[in-house]
Amino acid sequence: MKSPVPTLVLLVLMLATAGLAILLKPALPTSEQMRNIDLQRIVPTAFSTWSVIATNDVSVVNPQQKELLDSIYSQTLERSYVDSTSGQIVMLSIAYGGVQSKQSQVHRPEVCYPAQGFQISHSEKSGIETSLGRIPVRRLLAIQPRRNEPVTYWIRVGDSLAEGWVGQKIAVVKQGISGQFADGLLFRTSSIAPDATFSYEIQDRFVRDLLNALRPEDLPFLLGSLGKPRG
């Protein structure tokens, strides 16, 4: 007579799997629980000593080809700003996706730059100290024969600022466990300059000036829990 134990074990595993699926099934996307976001409205065209410039000489590297970009992101914003005090130019790119999944998630610049003919000659973890706290970022140096582009970026998934590819995946799972789909945002600054260290300093100042110019209620959209008021 066949032992009922294997069948019982299989039944328990099936029930556990079904229960876990219910537990992990997100209730609503975080993007639906937030008010409508308009990147063009959130990010000012002028703040502190920075103002938007329109020039064909400074082109922002797109996160992806347009077709793929439209399938991944709900909104994108690309601008170039000039600092009136130093003449330095910083390129800003923000890409927002309402739901992060295996098929549709924020793509890291380490992928999109090589896809457009760049080589990544340097990559390291770093941080930007702000009045809100330390923002964990990644520094890249993307190069072409006639273009040297230092890059600073961070990725927000749900309420978390994800550090690295693994951190990005973990943030998606954590948000799912909490009962929500994770939305995602890529915030990237870059410059065309031979001195990467100086460029990173300028980009950090740009970020601090921008955050100081935003309305407090808009900060969590860019920074997750780091942008939420304390107390």
CB 78 within 8 A of CB 92: yes
Can you give the pLDDT at residue 115? 85
CB 216 within 8 A of CB 230: no
Can you give the pLDDT at residue 31? 47
Burial of 73 (C-beta count, 10 Å sphere; 0-12/13-18/19+) = buried
Q: What are the beta bridge partners of residue 83?
A: 50
State the average pLDDT for the chain. Answer: 78
* C-alpha dist (Å) from residue 21 to 18, 168, 177: 5, 21, 10
**At 208, phi and psi to the nearest 5?**
-60, -45
- For 64-119, the pLDDT digits (tens) are 455 555 556 678 899 999 999 999 999 999 999 875 444 445 778 998 899 889 99
**Residue reference for tokens 């190069």:** 143
The residues, any chain, with a CB within 8 Å of residue 112's CB and separated by 6 or more, are 61, 62, 63, 64
Can you give the pLDDT at residue 37? 79
Judge whether residue 18 has pLDDT over 50. no
Max Cα–Cα distance, the chain, nearest Å: 87
- For 105-139, the pLDDT digits (tens) are 577 899 889 988 999 999 999 999 999 999 999 99
**Residue reference for tokens 């072409």:** 144
Average pLDDT over residues 38-58: 88
Can you give the pLDDT at residue 191? 97
Judge whether residue 3 has pLDDT over 60. no
Can you give the pLDDT at residue 159? 84
Question: Whole-angstrom Cα distance, residue 158 to residue 29?
Answer: 9
Judge whether residue 19 has pLDDT over 50. no
- For 167-226, the pLDDT digits (tens) are 545 545 555 555 556 788 999 999 999 999 999 999 999 999 999 999 999 999 999 999
Judge whether residue 163 has pLDDT over 80. no
Neighbours of 98 (CB within 10 A): 19
Specify the pTM.
Answer: 0.77
Can you give the pLDDT at residue 205? 98
Neighbours of 208 (CB within 10 A): 17
* Counts for the chain of helices (H) and strands (E), in that order: 8, 11
DSSP letters for 104-125: S-PPPHHHHHHHTT-EEEEEEE
